[in-house]
Amino acid sequence: MTRQLFEGIRVLELGTMVGVPYSGKIFADYGADVLKVEPLEGDPSRAEGPFLQDIPNKETSALFLHLNTNKKSITCDLSTTNGRDIVRSLIDTHDVVIENFKPGTLESHGLGYETLTSDRTDLVMGSLTPFGQTGPWKDFKGSELVLQAMAGPMHMNGDPTKEPIKLGGNLAHYHAGLSLTYACMLARLRVERGGSGDHIDQSVYEAQAGFRDRRAPGLTSASYTGRSNKRGGSLGRTASGPRPAQDGYANIMAGTSKHVPAFLRLIGRDDLAEHPDAKKPATQMSTTFIEEMEASYAIWLIERTKRDAVAATQSIGILGGAILTVEDLLNDPHYQERNVWEEVEHPETGSMRYPGRHFVTSGATRTQMKRAPLLGEHTFAVLTDMGYTKADIVQLRRAKVI
């Protein structure tokens, strides 16, 4: 049987919230042995909702449960000498370390990359911070909102008559976590070919600046024209964009001159399909023509489900998609046929459906997803494997090291 993509790789995760845990999740979901080191109070994401039945509980945060599948968890206080000794010993037995401490923190604990590699050249360390390990902003804090505003496409999002708005969720940190995984694996590939390890300095700010979701094309355009992209208004959105259907919304891009005639015939307006404006760019169409087309489109769409409307327009080559709710996604026949969702049992939540994979591999057999760990669930087992006795572990707990 073909091995999982990351099988045999040991990853130590010294990260919290989204970016580094997402990187660890990718490693873990594809076979790496990932050990998560949490502060005594737990990863702060455990305090982020939504929670099961809206009752705050460190073990039922949907964000934490999603980001930490297939991992083990220990608790350890890095501010203590014994805690640092434990983490140093763990680093010595892992291939990759991923972390998101403030720049200089690990160095102050004697766990900086230069120190760790003085007698070990094969270590790969990935450090994810808002603005990187160097530069005038290295000590600045950066939330998802701040980073999307400073480095992402936020200036292009929203109604042009109102304030810019951020994209939903933690897009910037997910993207940076994905980029960190990619960089660490390239460094690890070099190690396995006989080369040395590396310290990956991953800035969320810089990952966003090169993000393919409009930002990179916008920067390239600005370098040629000297003009920054702006938020667009209704101009050029004729018969395009989200519109209400019978059971929700459909996002169909039918307003280009290439597609308008065929689209008009589809919605029963053969007469308008022959109109001279039908072959013009939207900016050159008459107001009367646009109003008639939009009115007919609205009637056609509201009489159909969003999926049926999209299927009809896709059948004639028009780009579009139904705007799916979470419930739609859970019951989506395409996802179900491809076994995207996976049932995972958890002692605090019971059985829940999780997104089961990021992509499909042709060789390795898909393994059953393991639930996210309870806080410090594997502390005793991990320390025992390291040679600590039961009495040692009791003492460490009393001293609040673990």
- Give tens-digit pLDDT for 304-358: 999 999 999 999 999 999 999 999 999 999 999 998 999 999 999 999 999 878 8
Look up residue 338 and give its amino acid.
R
Binned at pLDDT 50, 70 and 90, residue 49 comes out as very high
Asked whether the beta carbons of 56 and 49 are under 8 A apart, the reply is yes
Ranges of CATH 3.30.1540.10 domains, the chain: 240-328
pTM of this structure: 0.89
**Lowest mean per-residue pLDDT among 26-35, 66-75, 253-262:** 253-262
Closest CA to 123 of 147, 88, 150, 158: 88
Asked whether the beta carbons of 282 and 291 are under 8 A apart, the reply is no
Mean per-residue pLDDT of the chain: 92
Neighbours of 372 (CB within 10 A): 28
Tokens linked to 142: 């950066």
Asked whether the beta carbons of 263 and 321 are under 8 A apart, the reply is no
User: Where would I find the beta strands (DSSP E) of 174-308?
Assistant: 198-203, 240-245, 248-253
Which residues fall within 8 angstroms of residue 212, CB to CB, at 6 or more apart? Answer: none
DSSP annotation string for 249-275 = EEEEE--STTTHHHHHHHTT-HHHHTS
Looking at the DSSP assignment, which residues form a beta bridge with residue 33? 10
Taking residues 383-399, report their average pLDDT.
Answer: 97
Ranges of CATH 3.40.50.10540 domains, the chain: 10-214+338-398
Fold type of domain 240-328: formyl-coa transferase, domain 3 (3.30.1540)
Look up residue 62 and give its amino acid.
A
pLDDT digits (tens, 9 = 90+) for 354-387: 987 888 888 777 889 999 999 999 999 999 999 9
Q: How far apart are CA 249 and CA 55, in angstroms?
A: 32
Sign of CA dihedral 245, 250, 252, 255: positive
- Buried/exposed 93-108: b ≥16 CB within 10 Å, e otherwise: ebbbbbbbbebebbee
Q: How far apart are CA 64 and CA 18, in angstroms?
A: 9
Report which DSSP code applies to 305.
-
pLDDT at position 158: 80
What is the crossing angle of helices 144-151 and 171-192, to 10°?
A: 80
Q: How far apart are CA 179 and CA 182, in angstroms?
A: 5
pLDDT(160) > 50: yes
pLDDT digits (tens, 9 = 90+) for 71-84: 999 999 999 999 99
Q: How far apart are CA 198 and CA 58, in angstroms?
A: 34
CATH architecture of 10-214+338-398: 3-Layer(aba) Sandwich (3.40)
Higher pLDDT, 96 or 169: 96
Asked whether the beta carbons of 360 and 335 are under 8 A apart, the reply is no
Tokens linked to 13: 């995760």
pLDDT at position 236: 47
Which residues fall within 8 angstroms of residue 277, CB to CB, at 6 or more apart? Answer: 284, 285, 286, 289
Asked whether the beta carbons of 228 and 218 are under 8 A apart, the reply is yes
Asked whether the beta carbons of 144 and 173 are under 8 A apart, the reply is yes
Looking at the DSSP assignment, which residues form a beta bridge with residue 351? 345
DSSP annotation string for 333-368 = HHHHHTT-EEEEEETTTEEEEEE--SS--SSSPPPP
Looking at the DSSP assignment, which residues form a beta bridge with residue 354? 342
What is the crossing angle of helices 19-29 and 171-192, to 10°?
A: 50
